[in-house]
Amino acid sequence: MAHDIYKPENASRTIAEIRRIIESEVGPQFGKLPTEREFCEKLGTGRRAVRNALEALEAEGLIWRRQGKGTFIGQPPDPIAAFAAEIAGEADFLSVMEARIAIEPALAELCARRATSDDVNRLRILAERTIKAQDADTAELWDGSLHRLIARVAGNRILMASFTLLDEVRMGEDWQTQRQRARTPVTLACCDLQHTKVIDAIAARDGPTARAAMTEHLMTLRDNLILATQDESG
């Protein structure tokens, strides 16, 4: 039972040994580590020292654990990001816009019901920063932040998960290239006005108008993307 006696030097030695195993023996990211019992046998130490070492390494972000599955190297995989990466190469911009038109107007309507005055103020700040952006990347940054805040304030976790998936896809390089082609001074000015209409409806707690304004905004964006693609192919 000597191995079960918890001493600081045991903890230090145990965590150092597990670090060595992580760095040299398992190798690939998300590689599965031995069980606590296997670590005890391998290191000749007690389970308490192993458990404390694993908890410390998890807090550092070096490993992650899932009950019934085991302990793994690295950060836990993001299922939404992984799925987004999988479909990004298959989803054309029109499919993305169809999905956005199906989801984001509902989020805008819910946002109108639930937004506080502070939320509205934050939305107006983001819209203003979008207008004042000096380049396309910065404009896209603030535009995305505005839409994400609307989605978050809406407070529906299922819709938010769908939005997050679409948001991951639209961060891709192909999407950004398409957006850049559709940007002109005219389309940007129109987008800014439509953002204002959405926010005004949210501020007025007018859900149906917020939904309609978001639908108009996204359909305009879709049409601009279609025109930009046609001009390029023509």
Residue ranges of the chain that CATH labels 1.20.120.530: 81-233
Q: State the pTM of this model.
A: 0.67
pLDDT digits (tens, 9 = 90+) for 127-146: 998 998 887 777 887 898 89
Please indicate whether residue 66 or residue 86 has the higher confidence score (pLDDT). Answer: 66
One DSSP character per residue, 106-131 reads: HHHHHHHHH--HHHHHHHHHHHHHHH
Residue 62 is classified by DSSP as S
Question: What is the residue type of 224?
Answer: N
CATH 1.10.10.10 domain range(s) in the chain: 2-73
Q: What percent of the chain has pLDDT over 90?
A: 37
Instruction: Give CA–CA dist 50/44, Å, rounded.
Output: 10
Sign of CA dihedral 167, 173, 177, 178: negative
For the stretch 11-68, pLDDT in tens is 778 888 888 887 775 444 447 788 999 999 988 888 888 988 888 888 777 888 877 7
The architecture that CATH gives domain 2-73 is: Orthogonal Bundle (1.10)
Place of tokens 């937004």: 115
Domain 81-233 part of CATH 3.40.640.10: no
Q: What is the mean pLDDT of residues 139-159?
A: 91
105-132 core/surface letters (b: 16 or more CB in 10 A; e: else) = bbbbbbbbeebeeebbebbbebbebbbe
